[in-house]
Amino acid sequence: MTQGRGFASGLFDRDVIMARLNTFFLPPDQWPASVGDVVTLAGAEARHMGTVLRTEAGRAVRLFDGTGRTGLFTVEDIAKNRARLVADSLDIHPAPVSGLTLAIGWCKSKRRDYLFEKTVELKGIGLIFWQAARSQGRVPDSPKDTWMDKCVQAAKQCGNPHLPVLGTLPGGADELIERAAGFDQCLLAWESEDISTPLAPSALSKGRTLVVIGPEGGFDRLEAEKLAGAGFAPVTLGDSILRWETAAAYCLSLGFYSGQETP
């Protein structure tokens, strides 16, 4: 759905314009109600716009709010930590009816930033860290602000209008089982010699799917059996032993592929 005025319609391909313009994040509670409304960009986003990119008044930029709303805006006034912009056109991108949420056993790893980036780029709809029996350290009680910052930066680069829902489950497998009620299907990526059903793209195109991955060191067997007994369908990711971030990227790639194939 599009509202528009001025240069954003008629003579130009809007998708091309949106892709080439510098992009900035505006929180959902600050999103304008209609074309012509004025918004204020503050903090790190305004500093990046003015100090790093040296954006001047009169320039067109793209804003998004992470919930599917995007728009073209003209910079009216800009200072070091603040910018005023007027909405030239506003779009709404409906949330996908199907999508993949990953639940990954918590572990201490510098490779976590990579996971946020790939979740956004490959259009995962959610990312949960849960307290597994073999987790290294304790999962935080709630997502850290820096995690969403990484997602925002990735979305600005790839153009995904939707940010993933982030969550933590310090209650372990029991809390993971409770969370399963919000999904159409739940899968357990368990590398057990007893599991022969592969994870296929077609399995990830059937509504909202939760795929559970273990931490470094894998699942504790009793933990995995508990999840399987609660209805999490065991699947294999192949005959190679994958690092947790490789397993995550593999699942995200299959989910992205299934989304491209689904009408």
pLDDT digits (tens, 9 = 90+) for 184-236: 999 999 988 888 899 999 888 889 999 999 998 899 999 999 999 999 999 99
Structure tokens at 62: 């793209």
pLDDT tens readout for residues 233-258:
999 999 888 999 999 999 999 999 98
Model pTM score: 0.87
Angle at 174 between CA 170 and CA 179, to 5 degrees: 80
Q: Are residues 202 and 108 in the same domain?
A: yes
> Do 30 and 109 reside in the same domain of the chain?
no
Shared domain check, 121 and 47? no
Q: How confident is the model at residue 15 (pLDDT cuts 50, 70, 90)?
A: very low
User: Residue 11 has what pLDDT?
Assistant: 35
Which pLDDT score is estimated for 3? 57
Structure tokens at 190: 């368990």
Question: What mean pLDDT comes out for the span 5-24?
Answer: 56
What is the phi/psi pair of residue 29, to 5°? -75, -5
Integer CA distances (angstroms), 246 to 104, 117, 165, 242, 254, in order: 12, 13, 21, 6, 12
**Tokens 């860290």, residue located:** 129
Q: Which two tokens stand for residue 2?
A: 């599009």
Tell me the residue range of the domain where 25 lies.
2-92
Indicate the pLDDT class of residue 16, thresholds 50, 70 and 90. Answer: very low
206/253 same-domain check: yes
**Predicted local confidence at residue 133, as pLDDT:** 96
C-beta separation of 61 from 20 below 8 A: no
H or E segment at 105? strand 99-105
At which of 92, 119, 149 does a domain end? 92
Indicate if the pLDDT at residue 13 is higher than 80: no
Is 86 exposed, middle or buried (CB count within 10 Å of its CB: 0-12, 13-18, 19+)?
A: middle
Domain count, the chain: 2
What per-residue confidence (pLDDT) applies to 20?
A: 72
pLDDT for 113-168, tens place per residue?
A: 899 999 999 999 999 999 999 999 999 999 999 999 999 999 999 999 999 999 99
Q: Are 21 and 63 in contact (CB under 8 A)?
A: no
Cα distances (angstroms) measured from residue 153 to each of 44, 150, 175, 196: 12, 5, 30, 38
Residues 61, 153 within the same domain: no
Asked if residue 116 and residue 86 are part of one domain, the reply reads: no
Going by the DSSP 8-state scheme, the letter that residue 168 receives in this structure is E
pLDDT confidence of residue 221: 94
Strands (E), 172-220: 185-189, 208-213
Q: Answer yes or no: do 20 and 47 share one domain.
A: yes
**232, 110: one domain:** yes
- 257 and 153: one domain? yes
Closest CA to 102 of 123, 118, 121, 126: 126
The answer to whether residues 180 and 204 belong to one domain is yes
Cα gap 119→132, rounded to integer Å? 21
Task: Give the Cβ contact number of residue 177 at 10 Å.
Answer: 18
Same domain, yes or no: 237 and 111: yes
pLDDT, tens digit, 9 for 90 and up, residues 20-43: 789 999 999 999 999 999 999 999
Select from 62, 92, 122 the last residue of a domain.
92
Q: Output the domain CATH number for residue 26.
A: 2.40.240.20
Domain boundary among 47, 76, 92: 92
For residue 61 the two structure tokens come to 């930029």
**Pair (107, 210) in one structural domain:** yes
* In 53-204, alpha helices (H): 112-121, 145-158, 172-179
